[in-house]
């Protein structure tokens, strides 16, 4: 059967860390603390990569870009996103749309969403209207609420070329 549409879902979490820059949605946000990770720890781009890979049945971000590999140490996650888009295009798919949610108590993300949307669309070579980014908090509940880290979720639709 020739399947024209495929959906994918991605989830990621990173803990806050002192002395790290905060990278989110491909942009650096001015904030006293950042996120810990082998790469730049861009939790939003990682969730999006996993959603894209899942939709194309191409395993996950850790499979393609292992955090044990020196070449990915502190890597800009926009490079991982661009490579992920290449993988799904190589398999014959194009992005329909992506809908993402970042869950964090701090900082306030809404002012940064247009810049993230533009940056991500440019990296993915799609129209900004294909990328939705939403921000929410955890109402001070759980590890996100205790400000131990942040989470991101992403849902995508791929269309067969």
N-terminal to C-terminal alpha carbon distance within the chain: 15
**Cα 19 from Cα 2, distance rounded (Å):** 49
Site residues (CB under 5 A) for Mg ion, limited to 25-54: 46
Closer to Mg ion at the Cβ: 12 or 105?
Answer: 12
As measured in angstroms, the least distance from the Cβ of 38 to Mg ion is 8
DSSP structure class, residue 125? T
**Quick check: 120 and 84 in contact, CB under 8 A?**
no
Among 12, 40, 50, 105, binds Mg ion (CB under 5 A): 12
Q: Which stretch binds Mg ion (CB under 5 A): 10-18, 49-57, 119-127, 139-147?
A: 10-18
Query: To the nearest whole angstrom, how small is the minimum distance from the Cβ of residue 51 to Mg ion?
Result: 13
Nearer to Mg ion, 17 or 159 (CB): 17
d(CA 107, CA 92): 38
Token pair 């942040």 is found at: 150
Nearer to Mg ion, 45 or 113 (CB): 45
Radius of gyration over every alpha carbon of the chain, rounded to an integer in angstroms: 15
Q: Is 78 in the site for Mg ion (CB under 5 A)?
A: no
Q: Which stretches of the chain bind Mg ion, using CB under 5 A?
A: 12, 46
């Amino acid at each position: 059967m020739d399947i024209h549409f495929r959906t994918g879902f991605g989830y990621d979490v990173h803990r806050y860390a002192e002395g790290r820059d905060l990278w989110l949605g491909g942009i650096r946000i001015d904030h006293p603390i950042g996120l810990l990770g082998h790469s730049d720890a861009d939790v939003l781009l990682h969730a999006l990569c996993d959603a894209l890979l899942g939709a194309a049945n191409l395993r996950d971000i850790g499979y393609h870009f292992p955090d044990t590999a020196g070449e990915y140490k502190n890597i800009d996650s926009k490079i991982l996103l661009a490579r992920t888009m290449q993988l799904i295009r190589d398999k014959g798919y194009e992005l329909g749309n992506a809908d993402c949610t970042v869950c964090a108590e701090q900082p306030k993300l809404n002012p940064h969403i247009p810049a993230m949307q533009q940056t991500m669309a440019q990296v993915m070579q799609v129209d900004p209207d294909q990328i939705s980014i939403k921000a929410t908090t955890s109402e001070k509940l759980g590890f996100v609420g205790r400000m131990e880290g942040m989470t991101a979720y992403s849902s995508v639709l791929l269309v067969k070329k």
